[in-house]
Amino acid sequence: MTVSEEIATLCTAAKAASRELRGFSTAEKNAALEAVAAALEASRAAIGAANAADVEAARAAGLAPALVDRLTLTDARFADMVAGVRQVAKLPDPVGETIWKRDRPSGVVIEKAREPFGVVAVVFESRPNVFVDTAALCLKTSNAIVLRGGKEALASNKALAAAVRTGLARAGFPAAAVQLVTSTDHAGVAELVRHPEWVDVAIPRGGERLIRAMCEAALVPVLKHYKGVCHVYVDDKADLAMALAILDNAKTQRPSACNAAECLLVQEDLAPLFLPMVRAWAADKGVTLHEGPDCDWSREFLALELNVGVVADVAAAIAHVNAHGSHHSDCIVTMDKARADLFLRDVDSAAVYWNASTRFTDGAEFGMGAEIGISTDKLHARGPMGLEELTTYKYRVVGDGAVRG
């Protein structure tokens, strides 16, 4: 079977399953998620063996230790993954929710209500737990899902897919609602996003190169962020101890995350006092600083490296962030409310912060319970994407023989 034939087979089956999913109640979906969690637990040995084979092959192929680590399903990660499925079952179901309702003078009643997209395509790299996380979120919102993972995790993803589909079948749900593309041909990524008759929206979970390739090929909407070039601007009215603590958390708590700080901006009058503190901190934490002509302002390091710049004032900081940032997450540290309000208003990013770390840009931290990704788009979703962002809406219009005059 060619990759085109595989994509056609999987997507048409998912499309049919998506129509069936609309008929299940919230209680039935929650029971199905519990069945999926139980099936994963029952398949722990098979999943572990498949993952061990993937990890061994990755090491033999010379993959970087960080990639091997992301690929590895430790006991703790497996437990968290299963717990995540059960947590999704406890979250409010947005499907069918009334956004607003209006009685019109014409006699019709108009209701704007949430409904599923239909089929969601997710392309991801390395981390097999993404398969289960995204499947659970889509099932909760009555969406079918077609997943395509990296070739390095193929055995793991096959084992996870088998367990998830077993759980769905036991709950009386269509197993075809969760599909895995097994072809590792790169053409499969492009093929998956070129069929709006099958796929309603696509979400990439990976590096900038993957995301750009998907967007260039796509004929369906793509919810994404290309990279996370996030800033911390320290104003001359900042509490310096607070500023250093925020910078430390934003850079070092998890430097490989897309919401980690990649650039520090310091107000010029403060620089002679604060930059020596930053250099001492960097030496202590093993952070490489890039200053002056050494800076590539648009670079996403995803490591213990940081660009450092000096700016005249908050207006210059805002201009720098808007010119060089990725519209992801950016922070001002200041005790001056007027300057903070200016930053919060004029920085064109999905999440803007005043005296708080950029690391808070996360579905769980935002109270969403879970997320399928983070978007820097302005349509249809922006920032962390949870269950509500996995729905669209329709207008339900009810009359009593109403006609338009």
Select from 163, 167, 164, 128 the least CA-distant residue to 148. 128
Tokens of 334: 């200041």
Cβ neighbours of residue 335 closer than 8 Å, sequence gap 6 or more:
237, 238, 239
The one-letter amino acid code at 148 reads: R
pLDDT number for residue 134: 94
CA pair distance 76, 64, nearest whole angstrom:
22
pLDDT number for residue 237: 98
Helix residue ranges, H only, 22-140: 26-42, 44-60, 65-71, 75-90, 129-140
Q: What is the pLDDT of residues 230-287, one digit of tens each?
A: 999 999 999 999 999 999 999 999 998 999 999 999 999 999 999 999 999 999 999 9
pLDDT number for residue 57: 97
Q: Give Dmax over CA atoms of the chain in angstroms.
A: 76
Helix (H, G, I), strand (E, B) or coil at 253: coil
pLDDT number for residue 240: 98
Tokens of 276: 């020596």
Please identify every stretch of the chain with a pLDDT value under 70, giving residue numbers as ranges.
none
pLDDT number for residue 371: 86
pLDDT number for residue 154: 96
The one-letter amino acid code at 57 reads: A
pLDDT number for residue 386: 93
pLDDT number for residue 243: 98
CA pair distance 202, 240, nearest whole angstrom:
43
- DSSP class of residue 396 equals E
Cβ neighbours of residue 245 closer than 8 Å, sequence gap 6 or more:
none
Tokens of 48: 């572990």
